[in-house]
A = this chain, B = another copy of it.
Amino acid sequence: MDEIDLKIVSTLQKDARISLKKLADICFISAPAVSTRLTHLEERGIITNYQTQIDYKLLGYPIKAYVSLRLSPKDKEAFYPYIKSVGNVVACDCVTGSYSQIITCYFKTTKALDNFINDIQRFGETKTQIVFSTSVERRPLELTPTENYF
């Protein structure tokens, strides 16, 4: 993981469909060299996958919500496979605090969200926060910090 790898990763983060040739020009090495580095980055698990970001509103999913769930440890075994299987869920983290799970999800209607919440309440108490607006859309982590960085 040297400077060139970092350049490759940080460039790809922002444009996953850039060609190897352009990457090669940016990094001042040849295209085959970029190709082998890329393969290594994938093999080492540093690059996990390439995702296209979609405007879910335009596709009919205007409801975004964070659902917190108070999950008792004994139910984890049942909860994890379940939450993975729900197509509306785009992320789920186990966190510190009394609400142990934070679920990020999208829905077509508030009714659908309500159905989901009713369904998961068999695992524990929930708290739902619906998104009004987004000031920072899902974006890459800044890997070459300049200012305002910790």
A interface residues, Cβ below 8 angstroms from B: 1, 9, 12-17, 44-56, 58-59, 61, 64, 66, 79-80, 82-97, 99, 101-103, 106-107, 112-113, 115-116, 119, 127-143, 145-150
Contact = CB atoms under 8 A, between A and B. Distances in A.
8 contacts: A16-B16, A47-B52, A49-B53, A52-B140, A66-B93, A91-B137, A93-B133, A94-B134
A129 B121 CA distance: 21
Given A94-B134, A131-B93, A54 B48 contact: yes
Give the number of copies in the complex: 2
Contacts of A56: 141
A50 B47 contact: no
B49 A84 contact: no
A131 B145 CA distance: 23
